[in-house]
Amino acid sequence: MAKSSQEQIEAKLFDSDIIDFGQYIKTIKRYIWRILGLAFFLTLLVALIVLSLTPQYTAKVSILIEAEQTNVLSIEEVYGLDSSRKEYFETQYQILRSRQIAEKVVERMQLQDNPFFDRDVAEAEKSGISAFMDGAKESIKGALPFLPQEPEVIRTEEEILASKKGYAVNQLLQSTTVVPVKNTQVVEVMVETPSPGLSANIANTLADVYIESYLEAKLEMTEKATSWLNESLQGLQTKLNTAEAALADFYEREQLVDIDGVVGLASEELSQLSDQLIEAQVALQRNQAIFQQVNQQGLSIDELTSVPEVLNHPSVQSVKREEIVAQSKVSELREVYGPKHPVMIAANAELASIRQSLRDQVRSLVSGITNEYRTTQAKVAALEREVEQAKSEFRKLSNLESTRRALQRDVDINQQLYDSFFTRLKETDQLGGFESAHARILDEAKPPSAPSKPKKGLIVAAAFVLSTGFGVFLALSLEALNSGIRSVEDVERKLSQRMLGLIPWQPHSKKENLALRHFFDPKHHMFSESVRTLRTSLQLLNIDKPSQVMLVTSSVPKEGKSTVSVNLSFAIGQLSKVLLLETDLRKPTIGRLFSLPGFQPGLANVISGSHALDECIVHDDQSHIDILCAGTLPPNPQELLASDRFAKLMRKLREDYEYIVVDSAPTQAVSDAIVVSKHCDSLIYVVRADSTSDKMINNGLSRFVEIGHRIDGIVLNQVDLRKAKRTGEYSGFYDQYGYNSYQAASNEKTS
């Protein structure tokens, strides 16, 4: 059984995830008249509001904004606008929407005197609610002097006029719409007012003011530019004259004609002297080295001859060659002649003469080297003095050149600025007389023939559609928020139980219970038949194994379980011997319904042993049923119901009666019904229609499923069949038996 319960719960969760459009349609059918009523009411309210609105007329003027403006001269910098940039058009749109343009339009057309743009007229035409609220606010402030009071302000005529113009400007800005036409240079300006002619006039005037405003701004900027250029030109003229005078004074003071040529000659002379000095210094270094070698102390003539600088001298080398030849000759002759031979003597004399000549030549060379070194040294010193003097002269000329260049640069810069400003001044003067508009009117505004808003038909139709949709939303929301059980589908979908029957609602006082003998009243044949149908459902449900003991319970009190128990007993009593047993030992109602005395003993007395069973059972002569009420209320009702004596009593009652209808306590209040259900064959769960939440009912049902008790089904009590007929929720549940209102009336006439 626990597994079956789990499967039922899973099936219920699965079904809850499926969108049941049929259920939505039934919900809409149930609330259809409320939905239509709400829709008609809201539509009527919107229609009244729309009819009270003042029709508005929209006039449209098309303006073509030139991307490339006609400029006689290229002085775009004067105007500060670059038409080649994308932001140019956005800037023009903002200018059209600007307060400055609106103020000029108001001023030109005197719109502050027009009723639509007049604050006083607008306040006088306030709706009754607004006027009432303002009056109430003033009355409250007057009655409560401690509240901060607004001091009365006395304004001058100029302030009043400025306030009226400001209000008119605000109204005009609210009534004006600027819409650029996509992928074009055309912009549409739309003005909306209650008058078609006024809308067209304002639109055309706004376009004219926009174009004129640009021309005025261009003229004003041109004048400002001309004035500024004149002032700047005078200052530049003064600076240029000053710079030229300084340059002329410099030439006069320094006695210069062509300083560039003088500086060039000085530079060339300094370069030549520097080259000569370098050559002299190189020669001096070379002669100094030779001088130092040949003038070393202690060197003989022969040693000086071996000095490279002396040896490599051309004159020494010539004598050296002669000496080698003479010496070679002497050596050859020595082989032939003796030392005293005249030839030999002559050869030796020649060799000695050559060697003496070499010594003389070396002495002369050493003396020449010394003289050359002294001369070179003097030349270097003289060149150094000349170079220093040339450098000093060149530095002086360079300083003069730098000063001259600075003065000339100042003159050139001032001359360039003067020429540039003079050219710009001439351009501006020429442009000042040329007025070229940056925009033109493409299509003038014409007075519209029909109002642009409100679209009364469209608004009313939209109001009806939206209010209908809102009504459907409310209906579905109420249905979703309603957790009660009101139909067979709810029993199967929300509770996963079968429907045993339903008991229709019977008109009666809410403070009193339904009349006890209501079942036998022929005027309420529908009620009686519903109870008989319940009886038949129970018999057919348990045809193989009839249920002798039937437990009737509910989730909470006031659901009508006792009424169902009593009337089910009446219906079964017409066919069989039946006992109505009350097991609610906490708040019993059966004894009170049958008007039994308070001292009447009952179930509690039998279980406790204070009274015999025969003393406690009461027979109702009209219904032919026996009644065993609760009796004296015990302090431990659940212990009595769980006792062996109660079990023994139930076995005894099964022997004496064909059927036993047990009226138990609600499941959510106490657990008495769980205890009693162990001695019962069937369980009938009573649910008050559209009242108890499905969560609470499922909670009560799960308690019986957990102990493994079978639930026969649900009895839906206090069902309003008039509402059900409109929605068709129970169509077929009664009609298949022929117990509709028409046939019930016919049966009453027949009886």
User: Mean per-residue pLDDT for 320-330?
Assistant: 74
- Write down the pLDDT at residue 77: 45
- Write down the pLDDT at residue 257: 56
| Chain segment 46-76, per-residue pLDDT in tens | 888 888 778 888 888 888 887 655 444 444 4
Which single residue is written with the structure tokens 């001032």? 414
Assess whether pLDDT exceeds 60 at residue 418. Answer: yes
Burial grade of 18 (CB within 10 A; 0-12, 13-18, 19 or more): exposed
Backbone angles phi, psi at 443, to 5 degrees: -135, 125
- Write down the pLDDT at residue 114: 82
- Tokens found for residue 730: 């129970």
- Write down the pLDDT at residue 316: 62
The C-alpha atoms of residue 120 and residue 164 are separated, in whole angstroms, by 9
The C-alpha atoms of residue 213 and residue 273 are separated, in whole angstroms, by 77
- Write down the pLDDT at residue 627: 92
| Chain segment 124-182, per-residue pLDDT in tens | 655 444 555 666 666 666 666 655 656 666 778 788 888 888 888 888 888 888 888 88
User: What mean pLDDT value characterizes the chain?
Assistant: 76
The C-alpha atoms of residue 408 and residue 609 are separated, in whole angstroms, by 141
Q: Do 545 and 591 touch, CB atoms closer than 8 A? A: no
Q: Do 711 and 677 touch, CB atoms closer than 8 A? A: no
Burial grade of 481 (CB within 10 A; 0-12, 13-18, 19 or more): exposed
Percent of the chain with pLDDT over 70: 72
Reported pTM? 0.48
User: Mean per-residue pLDDT for 624-642?
Assistant: 89
- Write down the pLDDT at residue 662: 93
Q: Do 617 and 602 touch, CB atoms closer than 8 A? A: no
- Write down the pLDDT at residue 514: 77
DSSP assigned state of 56: B
- Write down the pLDDT at residue 86: 66
| Chain segment 199-226, per-residue pLDDT in tens | 889 889 888 888 888 877 777 776 676 6
Q: What is the 3-state secondary structure (H, E, C) of 525-593?
A: HHHHHHHHHHHHHHHHHCCCCCCCEEEEEECCCCCCHHHHHHHHHHHHHCCCCEEEEECCCCCCCHHHH
Assess whether pLDDT exceeds 80 at residue 41. Answer: yes
The C-alpha atoms of residue 339 and residue 334 are separated, in whole angstroms, by 7
Backbone angles phi, psi at 82, to 5 degrees: -115, 105
- Write down the pLDDT at residue 392: 76
| Chain segment 329-376, per-residue pLDDT in tens | 778 777 777 777 787 777 777 777 777 776 666 666 666 667 767 777
- Which residues touch 254 (CB under 8 Å, ≥6 apart)? 400
- Which residues touch 515 (CB under 8 Å, ≥6 apart)? 508, 521
Assess whether pLDDT exceeds 70 at residue 107. Answer: yes
User: Mean per-residue pLDDT for 657-666?
Assistant: 91
The backbone region for 439, taken as left when phi is positive above 0, alpha when psi lies in -120 to 50, beta otherwise, is: beta
| Chain segment 577-601, per-residue pLDDT in tens | 999 999 988 888 888 888 888 888 9
| Chain segment 281-307, per-residue pLDDT in tens | 777 666 666 666 566 544 555 555 556
| Chain segment 221-279, per-residue pLDDT in tens | 766 766 776 777 777 778 778 877 877 777 777 666 555 566 666 677 778 777 777 87
| Chain segment 136-151, per-residue pLDDT in tens | 666 666 666 655 656 6
- Measured CA to CA in angstroms, residue 570 lies from 68, 306, 526, 566, 653 at distances of 102, 169, 15, 6, 18
- DSSP, residue by residue, 621-649: TTTTEEEE---SPPS-HHHHHTSHHHHHH
Helix 99-109 and helix 157-175, axial crossing angle in degrees, nearest 10:
120
- Write down the pLDDT at residue 710: 79
The C-alpha atoms of residue 486 and residue 194 are separated, in whole angstroms, by 55
Q: Which residue has the higher pLDDT, 550 or 346?
A: 550
- Write down the pLDDT at residue 751: 36
Most confident segment among 301-315, 414-428, 558-572, 715-729: 558-572
- Write down the pLDDT at residue 457: 81
- Tokens found for residue 44: 């009527």
Closest CA to 705 of 666, 679, 677: 677
